[in-house]
């Protein structure tokens, strides 16, 4: 049986070799060949561990449910209602199916903290936004967006255009959300 030191030294040697090859520019083709193109695939187990301590059937009473802590409005909007009324009542696989739909549309914006702490930063895979929409960035607020984009009617009009996407009110916008700027 190999000693733990032998295993550790092999890992260390491979890490150093990869670092040297990276500096020389020779590792990129080798690393890229093994990695899929496009956005990284979220590690749902790690995200669930961050969001809910890996408890897929949790209802903690905070308005979010299941292992991935999906709110009921989002759950229904992305087809979760066909599985269960709330995420915590669905299976792990059903929750992941809905989460994949969310990621295709919004990227990892539904899990802003846990996607960063787990190293997952997948982005939506749809066409670029038309000129009459805006994707919320960190630090944005409706009034700043309305002013920056010259939205007719200002903040109030921007809120009314997007009221159906902002069920918690005008003060609850999140990075990655797409807002309509015009009717």
**pLDDT tens-place string over residues 160-178:** 988 888 877 888 888 778 8
Give yes or no for residue 137 having a pLDDT over 50. yes
**pLDDT: which is higher, 155 or 27:** 155
pTM: 0.49
Give me the pLDDT at residue 11, please: 56
Are 98 and 79 a contacting pair, CB within 8 Å?
yes
**How much is the mean pLDDT over the chain?**
77
């Amino acid at each position: 049986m190999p000693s733990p030191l032998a295993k550790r030294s092999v890992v260390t040697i491979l890490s150093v070799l990869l670092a040297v090859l990276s500096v020389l520019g020779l590792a990129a083709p080798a690393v890229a060949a093994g990695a899929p193109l496009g956005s990284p695939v979220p590690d749902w187990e790690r995200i669930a561990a961050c969001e809910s301590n890996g408890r897929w059937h949790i209802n903690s009473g905070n308005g979010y449910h299941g292992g991935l802590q999906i709110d009921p409005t989002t759950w229904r909007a992305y087809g979760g209602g066909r599985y269960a009324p709330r995420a915590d009542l669905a299976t792990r696989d059903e929750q992941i199916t809905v989460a994949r739909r969310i990621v295709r549309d919004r990227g990892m914006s539904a899990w802003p903290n846990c996607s960063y702490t787990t190293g997952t930063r997948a982005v939506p895979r749809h066409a670029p936004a038309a000129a009459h929409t805006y994707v919320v960035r960190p630090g944005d607020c409706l009034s700043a967006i309305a002013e920056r984009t010259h939205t007719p009617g200002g903040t109030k009009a921007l809120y009314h255009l997007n009221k159906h996407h902002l069920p918690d009110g005008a003060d609850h916008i999140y990075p990655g959300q797409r807002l309509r700027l015009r009717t």
